[in-house]
Each structure stands twice: as C-alpha cells, then as structure tokens.
Structure 1
Amino acid sequence: MKKSNYSKSVVISVSIHALFIMLLLWGADFSFDHKQSVGNTIQATMVDPAMLNQQAQQIRQQRQAAKDAEQARQDRLEQQTAVLEKQRKAEAERIRQLKEDKLTAEKATREAEKQRQLQQQQVAEAKAKADAQAKVDAKAKADAKAKAEAQAKVDAQVKADAQVKADKAKADAQAKVDAQAKAAAKAKADAQAKQDAALNDMFSGLEAENVQRGGAKGKHIADEVARYGTIYKQMIQQNLLVDQSLKGQQCKLTLRLSANGLVLNVSQLAGNDTLCRAAKSAVLQVSEFPMPDNPDVVKQLRVINLTVSP
C-alpha cells in the first residue's frame, strides 16, 4: 500500500514538471532571422520571473518532500525489515528450541520408557525369583514337617515300646516283690503259727498244771492264765521281726515279770542267737504286760517260758 502511494506521488510530480516546462516553452520569446510571415501574427506572452522562481522553489520543495518521504519510507521499511528479521530469527529460534525441546522430551520419554521396561523386567525377574524361592521354601517346609511327623511317629513308637518294656519290667519287679512279700508273709505266718503253738503249749502246760492243783478254782486260774497268755502272745507278735534266713530256727526264752507286768528280765535258754536277739527285742518293746487282779493268776504269769520258732 505504501509503495503504491509513492508511485502515485512520483507520477504527479513528473506530470507537474512536464506541464511547467510546456508553459515555459509556450511563453518564451524566440527571435529568428527570417522574414515575417504574411497573414497570421503570433503574439508572445511575458512570464514573471518571480513567479517562475516561486514555482521552481515549490517544485524543489515538493521534490525534497518527496525525497524525504521516500527516505522516511525507506527508513521505516528498513526498520520494519529489521523488526521482521528479528521476529523471523526469534521465531526460527523458538521453532528450533521447540524442536530441540521436542527431541529432548522424546529422548527423555524413550529413556523413561526404557527405564520403565527395565524396572518391569527387574520386577518380573524378582517376582519370578521370589516365587521360585517360595516354592523351594514351601517344599523344604513340607519336607521338614513330613520328616518331623515321621520322627514324631518313630519317637512315639519308641516311647510306647519303652513304656511297654518299662511297664513289663515294673510289673515283673512288682510281681517279684509281691512274691517275695508273699513268701515273707507266709514265712512270718508260719513262724507266728509255730510261736503261737509254742505259746499255746506253754499256756496249755500252765493250764494243765493248774487243773491238777485242784477243782474249780484251779480251772478259773487256768482260764485266766490262758486269756492273758493270748494277750501277751499278740503283743509279742506285733513286735517280732524275723528274717527268712531264720526259718526253721528256734529260740527258748524265760520272761520274768513284776506284779504289775513290768519286764524284769528276759533271758535266752537255748536256740539261735540271732533269733533270740529278735525275740528279746520284741519282749522289751512291750515293756509292760497287763496283769489281772487275782494274785493267784499274777503268780502264775510272773515267770513264763517261751519258745520262738519262725
């Protein structure tokens, strides 16, 4: 648009100058050495020099104005060109930076994707490794559990067998102890039976002796002696302890009692010394035997001959 205005101004200026030249030529006084033409007369028009100078000055001013306008236009055009060039360079730099940023972003995206894939691969490998280890651990745990259960069964069986053996051994030992106890009890019973027989013999002899001494009184004394003799026998039996090795042995003792039943003396008449010591110990442990109120019966009980035979 600015270029079109400039062209229009140039055309107008040239037209004005051409018109001005024509007017100058038209009003000029040209003198030639020739004969005056007959007929038509041409009259010259005078031109004012001041006016001509003024017009020339106007033309010069118009030319200068046009030149200044053109220079200003050229300056504006150069400024606009510089601005456009600066903008073009800035745009080019922006586009270059955008491309560079895009390439950087694409590179970063590719690198991030590569890292993501690598992480996924590492996670997958770690998971696979963990799964494999978990399977190994589970199998090891199952094997250990099965082994422990099998060992527990073996231990239980061994313990059960040991318990059976222990129970059998205990039962055998108890049976042996029971047998020994039974034998000891039988031996003691046999010894007691012999001792009872000896006491019975002794008291029977006393009773027979008393019977012979006379009548009802003698019978009463004999009965009392027999009754107290049974009591004495029981008291001695409770304290008499004999060993199986003394089975078949005998010991004859004489007991001397006070009027109130205290043991004054117990002596060995004959027999096995060990058995006699046990018999004496049994008598001394009684210490005091009960006595009846009847002095005749007391008299019969103060001296007793006793035969001990386990």
Structure 2
Amino acid sequence: MTFTVIAEAGEVHWLRADVALAPAARRHAGNLARDLGMPQAQVARVELCVTEMATNMLKYAHDGSLVLRVVRARDRAAVECLSLDSGPGIRNVQEALRDGISASGSLGIGLGTIARMADVSGVHSLPGRGTVVHARFWADGENGAPAAGPLDTGGLTRPLGGEQACGDTWAVRTAEGPDALLLMMCDGLGHGPLAAQASDRARGAFRASSHTDPARVLEDIHQALRNSRGAAVAVALVEPAAQRVRVSGAGNITALAATSSGRTGLPSLPGIAGVQLPRPRTFEAALPPGAALIMHSDGLSDRWKPADFPGLLAHDSSVVAAQIFSQAAVRRDDAGIVVAVHRQP
C-alpha cells in the first residue's frame, strides 16, 4: 500500500540562525520526537541531526532558518527537519555525502551520516545561492519510510515577522480516481490572527466539502468564509492516472505546472473568497511524470523559473517547497507554498 505524506501547515516551528540556534533546535526537535513517543535512542538521533544542521549553517551560511514539524501518512507520523540557508552552496553534493566529509568545526558526523540516521533525507544546493538539507524520522519503529505513491506533497508556511499566527495555509485530501489528490492554497487577507482565522475556516471547509471538482470546492470555501475578512484561494485536482492537473482559484495565488524545462501557468480569477467570488473557472494543464504542481501566495515572488533550480524536481516535495521558498520568499511577509510532485513510475 502506498501513502501520501502530509505536513500540516499549523505544525511548523521556524528557528532563525543565531548563536542560540543549536540548543533551541535540539530542544524543539527533541520535544517533537518525544511527543510522538519515539524511544530515547531515536530522540537522540533527531537531536544530533538538527545540531549538525545548525552548526553547519552558523559556520558557513550568510543567513538561514531551521524548520521543524510533524508530518503524517495515514496512521504514521514523523519528525521532519529542514535547513534552509543563503550561504555559498555546496559545489559537489555527492562528495559532501561521502563518509568522512564534514564541515570543519562541526560534530564531525557529516551529511552522509545524517542521511544514514534519517528514514528519508535529501540535499539540494545552488552554488552561490544556498542549500536545503532535509531529514525525516518516522516514529513507529517500522523499518524505513512508507512506500511512496505516484504523488508526494509538501509545503511550508511562515508568518509575517513579529507575528505568531500565519495568514497563509494549505491542505491536502484524497479525491476520486486512482491516487488522485485535492490540494488547497489559501492566503487570508492581511496578516496575523484575523487572517489566520479566515485561513483556518477555509481549511475546514476544504476538508468538509463533499465535492472533488475544484470549482465546486472553491464555492464551498467561499460560503464558509462569508462574514470573515476573506481570502485568496486556489483549489487543485491532481490526477496522476490522467497525467493532468485542474485548478480553480480566486485572488492572488500563483499556480503552475512545472517541469525541468518550463512552466505552465494556471490563472486565478480576480476576487476574494468569502467577499466577492466571480463564477469560478477551471484551468487545466498536463502533469506528466517528473512534473510538479506548485501553488504559492504572494508572499513569494512569481518570477522564478524551473531552470533556476536544476535537479530540484527529482527531490522530495518538502525539499522542492523549501528551496523555492528560500529563494523566492518576500522578506518579512506572510508566505505559503504547497507542492505535489508526480513521480516517475
């Protein structure tokens, strides 16, 4: 049986790079692991992993963050650790993953040992621009990660600087058809708690909707957001068997089907869900194996191109989301991104 890994938007801890990064990362990651019931030996591996991530970031990166969260696949849960930096990058990732290669002054375990400790891991680096390091630790003691399906999904949200609540959110649920998924990206108007309330209502309506047609789901969200400040929302139906994606949106949400060589835009109509929604329209694009659906709020610039990220789509969707987020996010603004990658059979 295959599984879709889903990282809930509300379970993200962002830790900025500073002198206290390593102890803060150990504490947060250890608490997440213990909350999931991991044995102490596995908790120690998670803590060692994030300590090495933090140490390397402080030594080599110009700026960066660690992202810690819980992800789930049906009845399984994991701690996921992401390191996002704007440092010089790694010229030869395969060399850096070899045993015995470690950042000078670090714990000496190196990226290769992080990869062996984690159930799922990955590194994507852009020389001169920055690196994303990813590690995921499943909590139930079974060997390795769940078997991957034809789609994997991942995303990130980050609140406005100084705010605790993020006005952006995302969600995923199953749909009719072999391995089909519905995805939603939502940007609540404004920032802070009121924007987050609108986004939370949108996420609840998305999950409660009995429809799988993106336009019908968008209308359900619109009704649920009445008497709120409203939101920009896009809903996508990804159908790997048909190798296509269909999107219906309102407001300033970027949605596109990306391949290594280009991108096809899937427009959202002017409007605000919950306030003024035009008659929804659905746009369609091909999504062959190796392609990805990417949706993000206006907290990220929409000027990026797949060619700017060589090799990225071959990575886990969490790495895809993190690298685009790291390179395209607008400083201090609420931002959110959701990615669904169609894997090669």
Q: TM-score, normalised by structure 2?
A: 0.16
Larger helix proportion, structure 1 or 2?
A: 1
Q: TM-score, normalised by structure 1?
A: 0.17
Where relative contact order (Cα < 8 A, 6+ residues apart) is larger, the structure is 2
Larger strand proportion, structure 1 or 2?
A: 2
* Structure number, greater radius of gyration: 1
